[in-house]
Structure 1
């Protein structure tokens, strides 16, 4: 989810009854967007490039793949939206099994009908249910957990807070990463940051706030790094060449935050 963004000359269609919680599909200037009965963008797809990551914050949520020594094989996504992250990971992590938890079956229908969500029961497991409940009960471990779940009023609800983040940390593999999308302009942002820092002590990295107002936070199960920023630049270039995604601008902004870290990036000591 990101801040309200309505392309000029857009058209809107509602695929369910028009209520406060309706699911709206809008399209303008070649971009199709998902809305929950409000102006907040819950997901986006450039129609000519359906497998690309259209929104900047979704590209930031891929950054942990740059840090991994090996591509994650067990990935959990809390929140489906327009299936942008699912599609990208499905294409560029071909050996990974992807599990998606989505509370609203209408979102699943919209992702299938309008956003080209892949159908592959061998590699994708879809769970229709509450993400917080799922996390409190799950026992299998994951190499990467991506959290991006909001309601029509841009509230994350139980998908933030110490209890939820503790459950995430409990099922992360030893070298696993949690990446959460937060909205910096919403009430609860600072408490979510505090909760993440409390659970993942000194093992969090708050990316520079994006122009959209999204604040992506990365956390690791155990201390990770250090990584040379020179090495990370090389990895970013390789990823751009092989996986059609340029994370150079994001890394440059991270470097600015790490200016006093002797050219190294680390999560924990």
Structure 2
């Protein structure tokens, strides 16, 4: 993806990262720099509902942005090693200077590379792959293709999960969702849109996701207690939108 001018703004105690003036790419509440400020980033961590702790051991992030997901995992899931693939070295510099990205290469490694090429050419395996990469026009490009999603599947561990930010309905995410379903032989689920309108897709290749409503509530409460992240609203949306067949979430 082509590089773009990066802008930073602040309003009401929140610092924002922009790839263009009309689109917020990341955010950090200055008094809580390691919390997940934007609703969609909290939703992308809903994999913590789908697997029992301790999970994940290895996380791979495609797209750094303001570093929100990387910082949350680093500070709240201390047993997790993190690799971030970011195409633009300027984004990494901004994240370190203005968004408090930790400097700890033993646990948080930033690789400057094209995310699609990294996935297609490598062979490492990860428990949690989080894809949130867009250009200044909110286009995912090759990060939203069948070969890329197939490569993500090949790079998941036995209990691995993929989470993809599909933005929202105005971006015709249905075609993206179909590509993910094809890559994972139907073992994918598009979660109900969160407050920001972003739609997050989850997919599994090895061990099935199979959790009862009570298990989801238990994991959400455990996550809230241990990390401060409240995923109870996600469980409520899943139930309200009838995602729990026979009181279980399965895919």
Q: Give the aligned partner of residue 84 of structure 1.
A: 68
Q: CA deviation digits over 1:60-87, x for unaligned, max 9?
A: 0111122222311111000000000000
1:131 equivalenced with 2:93 (yes/no): no
Structure 2 contact 77–227 (Cα < 8 Å) conserved: no
The Cα offsets for residues 135-158 of structure 1, whole Å up to 9 and x where unpaired, read as: 111101111100000111100111
Given candidates 195, 218, 235, the residue that maps to 2:202 is 218
Q: Pick the aligned partner of 2:7 from 21, 24, 28.
A: 24
1:233 matched to 2:217: yes
Matched, 1:60 2:31: no
SS at match of 1:231: helix
Counterparts of residues 53-202 of structure 1 (less than 5 Å): 53-69=36-52, 70-202=54-186
What is the distance in 2 between the residues matched to 1:245 and 1:142?
22
Task: Tell me: CA distance 1:211–1:113, structure 2 relative to 1, closer, same or farther (3 Å).
Answer: same
Distance 1:250 1:67 in 2: 12
Equivalent residue number for residue 226 of structure 2: 242
Match of residue 8 from structure 1? none
- Structure 1 unaligned residues grouped into runs of 5+: 1-19
Unaligned runs of 5+ in 2: none
Change (3 A) 1:164 1:92: same
TM-score (norm 2): 0.95
Instruction: Point out 4+ residue stretches in structure 1 off by more than 4 angstroms.
Output: none
Query: CA 1:259–1:37 in 2, change beyond 3 Å: closer, same or farther?
Result: closer
Whether the 8 Å contact between 1:35 and 1:42 is mirrored in structure 2 is yes
Matched residue of 1:159: which SS?
helix
Q: Which of structures 1 and 2 has the bigger CA Rg?
A: 1
C-alpha change, 1:40 and 1:226, in structure 2 (3 Å) is same
